[in-house]
Amino acid sequence: MVKFQDVTKKFGSISALEDVSFEVEAGEFVFITGPSGAGKTTLVRLLLRDITPDKGKILIEGKDIGGLKPRDLPYYRRKVGVVFQDFKLLFGRTVWENVALALEVAGEGENDGKRIKEALDEVGLLDRANLFPKQLAGGEQQRVVIARALVARPKLILADEPTGNLDPATARQIIELLDRQTKEDGTTVIMATHNENIVNSLKRRVILFRGGKIISDKKGAKYSE
C-alpha cells in the first residue's frame, strides 16, 4: 500500500528525513514515534503530497506520488483521510456539514445522507449533527474529524498527533475507532504520536525515528525514544 524508497527531505541545511525506506501493507496500523524534530510530521506531509522528497520515491499502491501533476492531486487526496491534532473544522458549518464536506471534495455528492449518518453514528455523534463545532467539547470535535476522515471510505488514513489535546479516556476511544477501521474495512492507518500509553496498550507496529532516520521498526512493539 505504502512504500518509501530511500527518501530524503531537507529544509535548508536541516535533514528532516534521510534515506528513509519502509513499507506498510494494506490494512496495517502503524505508529510513527520519536522525539520532536525526528521527522514525523514531515513524513505525514510527504504522504499527503503537501511537499515532495528531495531524493527517493514514495509509492502508494505502486504509483510514485512525487510524479503527480497538479491536476492529479485532488484525485489522489480523495483516497486519503487526514486527522490533525488541531481539528481544522469549519466553525461556520454544523457537524453534519463538516462531514459532508469530505464527500463534496471527493466528488461523491454532498447529499449522501446515508453515508454521513453512518459516519456520525460510528463516532457516537449522530445526536450532535446539527450543532456547531464551538458547541462541542474537544473530544467531540476530534470525533467529528474522525467521521470526516471516514465518510469517504479512504484507503489510507494519516493521523498527526490526533490525541495530543484529549483526555486519556477520549484518546483511547479515538484510537479504537481507527483501529477498528483496519480490522473491519481494511483501511491502512499511519499515525504519528507521542502518546506512550496508547502505543503500549495497542501493541501494533512501531517505527521509531530519530534525527530523520529510522532507529527501529518492530511489530507488537512498545513506545520508546
Residue 108 has pLDDT above 70, yes or no: no
Residue 94 has pLDDT above 90, yes or no: yes
Give the pLDDT confidence of 188-200 residue by residue, as tens digits. Answer: 999 999 888 889 9
Assign residue 34 the CATH number of its domain: 3.40.50.300
Phi-psi group of 69: left, alpha or beta (phi > 0 → left; psi -120 to 50 → alpha; rest → beta): beta
CA angle 138, 123, 151 (to 5 degrees): 110
Q: 42 and 143 share a domain? A: no
Please report whether residue 39 resides in a domain: yes
Give the pLDDT confidence of 28-78 residue by residue, as tens digits. Answer: 999 999 998 899 999 999 999 999 999 999 999 999 999 898 888 888 888
- Residue 186 sits in which domain range? 1-79+154-225
